[in-house]
Chain A
Amino acid sequence: MKVLYFGKFREQMKRAEESVDLPQGDQTVASLVRLLRARGGDWSEVLSDSGTVLVAVNQRMGAWETPVTDSDEVAFFPPVTGG
């Protein structure tokens, strides 16, 4: 699946996007987060708090329990600051 990072997260992860292979089976945003956090370092730190990490699945706001499949686009970003 395609995973995107924006704002501060893009800088901390040192990438704007990447392709992630999610294992077969019932998967959610939480399973993807677990997979990414297992990398340790910034990954573990940045994605640790569901209160400050926003997630969008296919460009719609999602939550930790939102189901995801390999064809989805998932984006992680901090609270928005436009206007």
Chain B
Amino acid sequence: MACRVQQADFDVDRELQAFCGGGTQTGAVVSFVGLVRDQLEGDDRIHALSLEHYPGMTERVLANIERQARERWDLEDVLIVHRVGCLQPGDRIVLVMTGSAHRGEAFAACEFLMDHLKTKAPFWKKEDTDSGSHWVEAASSDDQAVNRWQRS
């Protein structure tokens, strides 16, 4: 189990190798990598993206999201790595890995973690684009994505 917030890039191969070497109870590992896109609505293009966070609270929220996922699914292991600082289009931003005995739980938990990370963890993006620099607004589609996990 690990949640990391860092400026440095991460090596997906190395993380995956380490993750798969955890134990022989794991039959399925799912990994998600989020990248910086350069395309916005219309012709506007992103040149750079800066990511700010709330040190201390971020780690607390990520650990809490992981705990919720583990309560819901039988997971062997979880890894969350999120970058902060200045990024360029094509750069990796986020890495989530889940390991479980069977693939269904690993897939569902990975999606659950990403949906919660996007809407609950205190990160803020600012885009430097052709038309100037501006803070990214929260998307209602992300709220809809996280709401589907609510249990009635």
Contact = CB atoms under 8 A, between A and B. Distances in A.
Nearest to B96: A83
B73 interface: no
Given A4-B54, A6-B54, A59-B60, A82 B82 contact: yes
Contacts of B52: 6-7, 10
B125 interface: yes
Contact of A8 (B117, B121, B135): B135
Interface in A49-82: 56, 59-60, 75, 77-82
Contacts, number: 71
B57 A80 contact: no
B120 A80 contact: yes
B109 to A, nearest CB: 16
Contacts of A80: 118-124, 138
B60 A78 contact: no
| Chain B interface, >50% SS class | mixed
Contacts of A10: 52
Size class of B's contact patch? 20 to 34
B93 A83 contact: yes
A82 B58 CA distance: 11
Nearest to A77: B122
B57 A56 contact: yes
Given A83-B34, A83-B93, A83-B114, A75 B54 contact: yes
Given A4-B54, A7-B126, A83-B34, 18 more contacts: A6-B124, A56-B54, A59-B54, A59-B56, A60-B60, A75-B54, A75-B57, A75-B122, A80-B124, A81-B124, A81-B137, A81-B138, A81-B139, A82-B53, A82-B118, A83-B82, A83-B121, A83-B142
Interface of B: 34, 51-54, 56-57, 60, 82, 93-94, 114, 117-126, 135-139, 142
